[in-house]
Amino acid sequence: MDTKDKNKRNTIDEVELLEQEYEQLEASDNRRPKRLRSKEQKSKKTRSKLTDGIVLECFTNNFYRVEPTTGNMITCPLSGRFKNVDFANTRSIIAVGDRVRLDLSSDPIIEEICDRKNILRRYIPRSFPEGESQARVYDHQLDKEVILAANVDQVIVTSSIINPVINFNLIDRYLCSAELSDIEPLICITKIDLKDPENISSELNYYRNSSFKISSASATDGIGIDELTDLLKGKSTVFSGPSGVGKSSLINQLEPKINLRTGSISNYSNKGKHVTSNSIMIKWSFGGYLIDTPGIKTFGLSRKDKDKLPRVFPGFKDLAIHCRFTSCTHIVEKDCRVREATAKGTIPESRYQSYINLFNSL
C-alpha cells in the first residue's frame, strides 16, 4: 500500500472512530441518569436520624418549603449530593407533593427523595432548526418535561364556560395526561352564573357518558362549593387549567383563609393573565391537600406516548379494544370502531377532530 492510500485509510479510520465514540457517548448519557439516580438517591446517613416530610413549594436555587411530620413548615436546601445526578430531560429535581427525608440535626437539609406513586406533567416539544435531523435524537430527548406535581390522588381540570370560552381541546389533553399517569380526573366548569351550562350539554354529555366526573361551580354565587368540598376531603388534589377561568376565586371560596390572588381577562386575547407563578401545596382545613398550579394555555404530551394515545383519548378506551387491529390509530384502518362511532354521531365530530389534531402533533 502506497503512502497516499495509507493516509486515506487512516483518515477513514479516524472518522469511523469519532462516529463510534459519539454513539457510545450518547448511549452512556442515555443510561447515566438511571445509574446515578439510584446511586445518589439514598443518603449514607443513619436512617434513624432522618425525618419524613412533604414538599409544599419549590423555589429557585434548590430551596424548598417542606412540612416535616414532626413540626412546623421549614425552608431548606437539597443535599449537594444531588448535584451529581443527571436528571436528563426534566426541569424538576423535586416537585410539589414529593415525599422526602430530612436531616434536622443541624441546619435542615433534604437528604432523600422518596419514590413517587405518580407524576402529573406536561411537555414542551423540542424545536429543531431547519435542516437539523432528528434521526440521532433519542425519544426522551424530543420533549422537555415539566413536572407539575407528584403523588397526586386526583386532578380537577377547571374551565370556564365563558370569559374565556371553554376549551375542550385542552380538556382532552389534560384527561389524556391523567390517564397516562394513573390519576383520577374531574372536570369542573366554572362561572356558570354567567351562562347556562346546558348550552354545551352535548359536549359535556360525551365526557359524562365516558365515565368522567363533571361538576359545575360559581365562585360568585357559591354554587357547587359543597359538592366540591366533599370530593376534596382527604385527598391530594391538583387544581389546574387555563389562566382566567376563576380557579383562584373558586379555591378562595372553598378555603377563604388561603386568599389566593385573582387576575383579570386580557382585553387583547380574551384569555386569562397568569396570577399563580409556581405550583404550591396547601393543607385544606377539612382534610387533604390542595395543589394549585400556574394557569396553562398549552398542555403538551410526550411524543413517546403517541402509540398509547388511541387507547387513552377520552371515550376511546372501550371502543379501541374492539377494533380489528390492536395497533389501530383510528385514522385509516378498516373495521375501526372509533371511526364507526364518529360516523354514527356517538362520538362528536369535534372530539374526533381534536384527537386527530393531537395525534398529528406528536
Mean pLDDT of residues grouped by 10 in the chain (362 residues)?
47 45 44 45 64 90 88 89 64 86 91 92 70 50 79 93 88 94 93 76 88 90 91 93 84 82 40 53 92 75 92 96 96 96 96 96 88
Q: What one-character-per-residue DSSP string does 329-347 give?
A: -SSS-SS-HHHHHHHHTSS
Question: Could you tell me which CATH number the domain at 29-150 has?
Answer: 2.40.50.140
Q: Look at phi and psi of residue 141 and say left if phi exceeds 0, alpha if psi is from -120 to 50, else beta.
A: alpha
Q: Where in the chain is the domain with CATH 1.10.40.50?
A: 305-361
Residue ranges matching CATH 2.40.50.140 in the chain: 29-150
Fold of 152-292: Rossmann fold (3.40.50)
- Please, what sign has the CA dihedral across residues 250, 251, 255, 258? negative
Residues across the chain: 362
pLDDT confidence of residue 44: 57
Distances (CA, A) of 308 to 37, 61, 175: 27, 36, 13
Task: For residue 157, give Cα distances in angstroms to 10, 16, 173, 335.
Answer: 61, 52, 10, 33
Query: What is the chain's Cα-based Rg?
Result: 24
Q: Which pLDDT belongs to residue 284?
A: 92
Res 87: pLDDT: 58
Dist. CA 239–CA 172, nearest whole Å: 16
Which pLDDT score, from 0 to 100, does residue 263 have? 43
- pLDDT of 25: 42
Domain with CATH 3.40.50.300 in the chain: 152-292
- Pick the closest to residue 338 from 330, 327, 328 (CA basis): 330
- 95-to-228, 239, 335 alpha-carbon distances in Å: 25, 15, 44
Return the SS3 of 151: coil
Q: Which fold has domain 305-361?
A: Ribonucleotide Reductase Protein R1; domain 1 (1.10.40)
User: Kindly report the CA angle at 148 between 309 and 184, in degrees rounded to 5?
Assistant: 55
pLDDT of residue 128: 58
Residue 24: predicted pLDDT: 47
